[in-house]
Each structure stands twice: as C-alpha cells, then as structure tokens.
Amino acid sequence: MKLNLALAQIATHLGDVESNLEKHFDFIKQAKAQNADLLVFPELSLTGYVLQDIVPTVAHHPHDDDPVFKHLLQASQDLDLVVGFVDEDSRHRFYIASAYLSGGRVLHIHHKVYLPTYGLFDEGRFFAWGDSIQAFDTKFGRVGLLICEDFWHASPPYLLWLDGADILLFSSASPGRGLNDNEKLESARWVERVNKSYASLFTSFVAHSNRVGYEDGLNFWGGSTMFDPRGELVTQAPYQTEHLLVSSLDLGLLRRTRARLPLLRDERTGLAQRELSRIIASREEGWKGHND
C-alpha cells in the first residue's frame, strides 16, 4: 500500500487566521493536483507562532459550526488534513493543538504536552499543557501526532509507538538558531538527527512539517523531512522557503523492515513499566524524605 504524503511548508501571518486559512486552501489545491492522500500543516499553521496576548482572540474548536473548521472539514472530504491551531476547551483553556481531519470528521486532536518555557520560548506563560498522548486509526494505518517540543522528549514518540502508531506526524514552528560554519543551523541539525533516530529506533515512518517565514527577528527554517522505517531520508524540502513536499511512501516497508529487525516485537513494555514504577516510587520516597 502506498501513502501519497504531502507536507505544507508555509509561512504564516501572525494572528491573521483569515489569510492563513486562504494559504491552507492554496496548498490543499496544489496537494490535490498532485494526488496527495494526506496533507500535514506545521504547528499553529492557522495563527502564527509567537502569539503572546493574541492567543485568546485566535482560538477555534474543530467543529462543523466553527467558521474556520467547517471549510477545512469540507476540504477533508477530498484528502486527509492535519492543521495547527489554538484550541479553546469548554472551560476556556487554550492549547497549542493539531487536528487530524478526514472525510468531513475530526479523527483526533492532539494538545501539545511539552510547552518550552526557556530561552527564546515562552509557551507555558500563554498556553495550557496537554495531558494525553494517543495514537489513532486512519485509512492509512495507525498514526500519532506530536508538536515540536513534544518530540524533543523521547517519551511521547515512544508512547505513540507502543500505542500502535506506525506513522508519526510531527509539526513544528521551529525558530532557526545556532549559525556557525556548518551549512545547516544547529537547530535544524538537531531536529533532523532526532527524527532520523525515531524512524530508526521505532522502525516507523516519521514525517516532520516545519514552517518558514519570520516573526520579528525569528526565522523559521523549514527543511521538512520524511524518514522511512529503515531510518533513511525519503525526501526533504528546501530550507527557509515555502514548499509543498510530496512523496509516495511504500507502507510495505514497515513489514519488510520489522521482519528483519524485530525491535517492536522484542520491546519489553512490562519491564519498562515496572522500572518506571520503581523509579517514580523511589523519587517520591526521596521527596518525602526531603520534606521530613
């Protein structure tokens, strides 16, 4: 089975959902013209990234009667979509979110579970922390969504793998940093290295949709990638410029790779759970001692 996967490496307007939605439809049209089955947009693709006090004014909830999502849900009749947005829950907490839309329905919403609040990042000040990491079924197999800092930590991709995801879809708004004499920024090299590692360790497909453009002095570096279950780079978008990256993924590689390299079969989840329980218990014991 083949999956014609597309990544929309776009630049966004900060806080201007209407013009960003137009951009989404531009890329949806192009992706359809190239027979894409699934199109993945970057983190916060409907809003822009450094939102700060804009957050409450650009939030949407994926639903038929939402003025933004009704159009996107309609478009998902033709091809599956992953879009990035600010989700507001019924109790008015705001999340950095990705939604998987298919056949006019919302299959899954992921709330970012790791909000970087250090260095140039200030997400924890403006957003609520997601509290769940779950894979879900699509017509192409079981999929997992993560957003940027989520995959700077090893546990979210690991949990998705154990939850059955064979296709990991990552989205980012990654600010470029670390210019030295290398032809790539340090931030780009780091992300590419870990994406390749996840594909290798989990013998899974790993696609990363990263945005481009600027917000004040920040540049977003793009360079979106797809890695196959052998850890090989399938294709990569150029750096720093808008691009629609489309590639046909041979899903049969999952079977062939795992037949020779049964890392998933041999993964000792019970052992991991026992050791985690012990580690957590001993830490709690340590804290108790500390408090005494």
The footprint of another protein (CB under 8 A) covers: 13-16, 50, 52-54, 176, 179-185, 213-217, 219, 239-240
Q: What is the dihedral of CA 71, 223, 49, 4, to 10 degrees?
A: 20
Alpha helices in 130-239 (DSSP H): 155-162, 186-201
Q: Between the CA of residue 217 and those of 50, 174, 175, 229, what are the distances in Å?
A: 11, 13, 10, 37
Q: Between the CA of residue 254 and those of 3, 200, 279, what are the distances in Å?
A: 12, 11, 33
Q: Which is nearer to another protein, 16 or 89 (CB)?
A: 16
Q: Which is nearer to another protein, 219 or 247 (CB)?
A: 219
> Least distance in Å: CB of 171 to another protein?
21
> Least distance in Å: CB of 62 to another protein?
24
Please give the radius of gyration of the chain, using alpha carbons only, rounded to the nearest integer.
19
The count of other CB atoms within 10 Å of the CB of residue 99 is 25
> Least distance in Å: CB of 241 to another protein?
8
Q: Which is nearer to another protein, 79 or 185 (CB)?
A: 185
> Least distance in Å: CB of 97 to another protein?
21
DSSP 115: -
Q: Which is nearer to another protein, 222 or 231 (CB)?
A: 222
> Least distance in Å: CB of 185 to another protein?
7
Q: Which is nearer to another protein, 17 or 72 (CB)?
A: 17
Residues in the chain: 292
> Least distance in Å: CB of 74 to another protein?
27
> Least distance in Å: CB of 222 to another protein?
11
Q: Between the CA of residue 90 and those of 59, 69, 112, 123, 265, what are the distances in Å?
A: 12, 17, 17, 21, 40
Q: Which is nearer to another protein, 118 or 259 (CB)?
A: 118
DSSP 142: E
Contact criterion met (CB below 8 Å) for 59 and 22: no
Contact criterion met (CB below 8 Å) for 205 and 249: yes
Residue 208 structure tokens? 């990363």
d(CA 249, CA 7) in angstroms, rounded, equals 13
Three-state secondary-structure class, residue 166? coil
Q: Which is nearer to another protein, 200 or 240 (CB)?
A: 240
Q: Which is nearer to another protein, 10 or 146 (CB)?
A: 10
> Least distance in Å: CB of 45 to another protein?
16
